[in-house]
Structure 1
């Protein structure tokens, strides 16, 4: 049977793992946001170049 110290250690480890999962999820969302922003900027530049090319 596990001692109180072992069960506290397991509970602490579980909490650490949950915190790590949350941190990874937040990081993934942040990276996705930047990827969408960069894609939008590149698309706007390309659209501007195409517009300028067709209206010269």
Structure 2
């Protein structure tokens, strides 16, 4: 259950970061580029959390 929730959040954040970067590059707006960078950082942290939970033998 935790895997599905983390993966769905990860996919949502990745889609949002790509959209934010796209809008930032299209409009040449630094605000959207910064938001995209923060979303990518959050996606990386969620991915590492997913790997940690998946490799934990005592969780389930």
TM-score range, shorter chain: 0.5 to 0.7
Q: CA deviation at 1:16?
A: 0.4
Give the SS at the match of 2:28. Answer: coil
1:29 paired with 2:55, answer yes
Structure 2 gaps of 5+ residues are: 1-26
When normalised by structure 1's length, the TM-score is: 0.52
Instruction: Count the aligned residue pairs.
Output: 33
Distance in 2 (alpha carbons) for counterparts of 1:2 and 1:18: 25
**CA displacement 1:3-23 (0-9 Å, x = unmatched):** 111000000000000100000
| Higher Rg of the two aligned structures | 1
1:2 paired with 2:28, answer yes
Q: Which runs of 4+ in 1 moved over 2 A?
A: none
When normalised by structure 2's length, the TM-score is: 0.49
Give the SS at the match of 2:55. Answer: helix
Q: CA RMSD in A?
A: 1.5
